[in-house]
Amino acid sequence: MPQELIHSEYSEIMQKSYIDYAMSVIVQRALPDVRDGLKPVQRRTLYDMYELGIRYNGPYRKSARIVGDTMGKYHPHGDSSIYDALVVMAQDFKKELPLVDGHGNFGSIEGDGAAAMRYTEARLAKVTQETFLADLDKDVVDFVPNFDETEKEPSVLPVRIPNILINGAEGIAVGMATSIPTHNPGEVIDLVIAYMKNPDMSTKQAMKYVKGPDFPTGGIVTNKDDLEEIYSTGQGKIKLRGRVETEPGKAGHTKVVITEIPYTMIGSGIGKFLADTAALQENHLTSDISDISNQSSKEGIRIVIDLKKGADVENFINLLYKKTKLEDTFGVNMLCVCDGRPETLGIVPIIRHHVEFQYELARRKYTTLLNKEREKKEVQEGLIKACDCIDLIIEILRGSKDRAMAEACLVEGKTDGIKFKTKNSEKAAKTLLFTKRQADAILDMRLYRLIGLEIQALRADYDQTMANIAVYTDILENRDSMTKVIIDDLKKLKKEYSVPRKTTIDNVEEAVIVEKPIEETDQVVLIDRFGYARGIDMPTYERNKEAADSESRRVIFCKNTDKLIIFTDTGKADTLKVLDLPLGKFRDKGEPVDNVSNFDGSKERALFVGAVSEILGKEMYFVTKRGMIKKVAGDEFESSRKTIAATKFKDDDELVAVGILEPGSEITICTEKKHKSKIKACDFPLMHKNSVGNIGIKLKKGDSVIEA
């Protein structure tokens, strides 16, 4: 067999392969469809539960059973993605209308994960069964082969409400991501009804019905005026705040209580909020907190912060908004799969696509129902006609040798081989001419159907069938009739599934913090031999002076508003605020210097520790291991940065000594091989901190400076 070599540019093959992969992830994995608001894994999981018969009014089934069946039949991409999707669809703090009724541990709003799938159970929620899956048997959507073409799955579910808006969506694809907020079901249904009556609706008109997002966690949207632009373009940032209340505490104290959190705080955000709030006190941004407790339960969120007596409550709440995630932004990007391609849509285009989908569902549904009613009408007409000549039909049946002979007589009027009592009967039999479907129904008819009441019921059923045909025909031929049917259905769904709005929409001014001026006081910083630092006031130091001087590696006199500076052997200068150190009693344990600065005691050695105010206006000397020396003005080390370079080195050099020069000072340099050199400070020039310096002592081979 001849072989053909195909020459192609490698970059072109890579580009095409990557684009194919990206589109596969975008369309088949990460983004929801605008019609049903579901990603493929969600759609397949719900359909599999429907196929397994796990109904809302039936028993729960193990999640592992659902996950395994879904993976084996429809979604061969691993069990974790399927179970994660199942868990999210069951969490009422993430979905406005949970689509799965979970039984067991399905996680919590505080970030606790769900139990393993072998322990939890699930079934379809009522809204899912009645609104997402109800009409699948009426040929309303196309079914496509699954991954190995052994099963059929729906390409989209016949969802009757805009699920993409109600439950929102989050997903990360290749080069794009979607983030759609949740909305109130009643408001969204009202918008759909209004749009069907006015298809030329603007975004501003649409927002008369949908005020803004409605998150399951409640909270407050603070930028109401920005929402019209966000819903028009499908992109923007929604500013969210938690709901804060105040309660009186004991002895005139006040409690700040958070009862609702921003949607973005779901999960580990609550734990981080508690840590960030405690850090406000530790970092001296406030001194008003006396206690923090998380009293949240199944009944709802309740985080209580006890404030000290006389605290400025309003300023403290503003501090929470500015310094913690109690105020956050939700990035909106309403990206979804539309007509097989990703597209960012505003709220009106989303509703337009949904309404077009509803008309398509209604057309296919009532076409199927009409065809069934016509088939039923045909059978009923045949049975009624048969009842009118039942004696002749009985004579045909008794005279026929087999079913085929009797059927041929009823359908085609063939009487060959059939024994009739009279010639008139044979003549009448040739004129019957039933349809094939009618003949089968007659041959399958039971004798009890000949009872008078049964015949009356048959005629009543026929009248009902004719009425149904008239209704279905009118719906299919008259757009207004179809619109009315869809709207009536939506009104019933609103009555059944509407819930009160949880999120408040408003324009709120930005939080402003009024910082209290810090009263400047004298302070003493003690650093022990383990690197723990703490502050004490001057009276405490004077009472414990002897113990403080003997037990501390360094005693630094400074102001509480001052900074400390640490010069290391690596040539760095690390600074930290005195306020960052704990201030307390003499025997209190301090804070490791490593925790409040960039100094790392495990990798570097501190050569000088002092207050920045101590070195300002003075000169400092630097001596290195290779004998270099320089004099630098202390003012050069005043900086807002936590770490700066204190000196410049040649290769394989390090600092040996750093100190403050007094007028008339001499510097003595000692080497490892017992050589010494004395230099008057006035003999070498003042240099910049980023210079290498001058030679302070000439070293012989193998010698180095150890002290200065």
Helix (H, G, I), strand (E, B) or coil at 157: coil
For residue 340, with 0-12 CB atoms within 10 Å meaning exposed, 13-18 middle and 19 or more buried, which class applies? Answer: exposed
Question: Which amino acid is located at 636 in the chain?
Answer: E
Distance of alpha carbon 34 from alpha carbon 164, whole angstroms: 6
Query: 554-559 and 563-568 as β-strands: parallel, antiparallel, unpaired?
Result: unpaired
Handedness of CA 188, 193, 196, 198 (dihedral sign): negative
Question: Which amino acid is located at 32 in the chain?
Answer: P
315 contacts: CB under 8 Å, gap ≥ 6: 513, 514
What angle (nearest 5°) sits at the alpha carbon of residue 688, between those of residues 687 and 691?
A: 90
Catalytic residue among 83, 119, 209, 366: 119
Which helix (H) or strand (E) is 695 found in, with range?
A: strand 694-695
For residue 453, with 0-12 CB atoms within 10 Å meaning exposed, 13-18 middle and 19 or more buried, which class applies? Answer: exposed
Distance of alpha carbon 552 from alpha carbon 531, whole angstroms: 10
Q: Is 119 a catalytic residue?
A: yes
Tokens coding 272: 């981080």
Q: What is the DSSP string of 561-573?
A: T-EEEEEETTSEE
Nearest to 160 by CA among 364, 365, 366, 358: 358
Question: Which amino acid is located at 424 in the chain?
Answer: N
Answer yes or no: are the C-beta atoms of 541 and 548 closer than 8 Å: yes
Total residues belonging to the chain: 708
Distance of alpha carbon 36 from alpha carbon 34, whole angstroms: 6
The three state secondary structure string of 403-460 is: HHHHHHHHHHCCCCCCCCCCHHHHHHHCCCCCCHHHHHHHHHCCHHHHCHHHHHHHHH
Which helix (H) or strand (E) is 628 found in, with range?
A: strand 628-633
Helix (H, G, I), strand (E, B) or coil at 602: coil
Q: How far is CA 551 from CA 527, 532, 651, in A?
A: 9, 12, 38
Nearest to 629 by CA among 594, 668, 602: 668
Question: Which amino acid is located at 704 in the chain?
Answer: S
Measured in degrees and rounded to the nearest 5, phi and psi for residue 13 equal: -65, -45
Distance of alpha carbon 576 from alpha carbon 606, whole angstroms: 14
Please give the positions annotated as active site.
Answer: 119
